[in-house]
């Protein structure tokens, strides 16, 4: 769990946090993120004199993605440092212009899991590659060009591009 007891945090001034979010956690359901290992979360949460709460966290895990060129499975390491600021705002649940998150008055515990999820959704690239030299799939037959050489390219040009080819020849 990534829950911080706010009374204890206010008394001590800072707390260490070590936890994990499992791959099957409901927080990941409405995202494109699929983890092959639990996401490890560690860091320090600070109570600031202004009443704000600042979480400085390190996130580690392995994402299961597909290569955006050849669609083969790829494991992508997540190693992110994030800072999340929570600001007291009464009952308001709106984000502030400065990117801080609301900290409703009277709250006894602060769950960081949703904020961590949102930070990862924004920071992780949806375009993973199995390698920088990935050749992708043949646009005609769908063959993985990293595995085999395709013979489709010798069959001639795609007729759907004839109009553009004609325009290009007119310009020359």
pTM (2 d.p.): 0.76
Write out pLDDT tens, residues 121-167: 999 988 999 999 999 998 888 899 999 988 875 556 778 888 888 88
Q: Is the dihedral of CA 96, 98, 11, 108 positive or negative?
A: positive
pLDDT at 149: 87
What was the pLDDT predicted at 74?
Answer: 95
Q: What is the pLDDT of residues 90-115, one digit of tens each?
A: 554 555 556 788 887 788 899 999 99
- Whole-number average pLDDT of the chain: 88
Whether 49 shows a pLDDT value over 70: the answer reads yes
Q: Domain segments of the chain: what residues?
A: 3-123, 135-172
């Amino acid at each position: 769990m990534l829950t911080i007891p706010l009374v204890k945090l206010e008394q001590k001034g800072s707390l260490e946090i070590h936890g994990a979010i499992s791959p099957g956690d409901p927080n990941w359901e409405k995202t494109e993120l699929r983890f092959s290992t639990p996401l490890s979360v560690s860091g320090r949460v600070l109570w600031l004199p202004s009443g704000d709460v600042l979480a400085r966290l390190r996130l580690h895990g392995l994402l299961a993605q597909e290569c955006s060129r050849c669609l083969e499975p790829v494991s992508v390491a997540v190693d992110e440092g994030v800072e999340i600021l929570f600001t007291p705002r009464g009952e308001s649940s709106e984000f502030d212009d400065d990117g801080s998150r609301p900290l409703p008055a009277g709250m006894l515990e602060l769950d960081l899991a949703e904020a961590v999820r949102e930070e990862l959704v924004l920071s992780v690239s949806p375009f993973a590659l199995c390698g920088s030299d990935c050749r992708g799939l043949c646009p005609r037959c769908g063959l993985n060009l990293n595995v085999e050489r395709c013979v489709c390219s010798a069959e001639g040009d795609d007729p759907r591009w004839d109009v553009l080819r004609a325009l290009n020849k007119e310009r020359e």
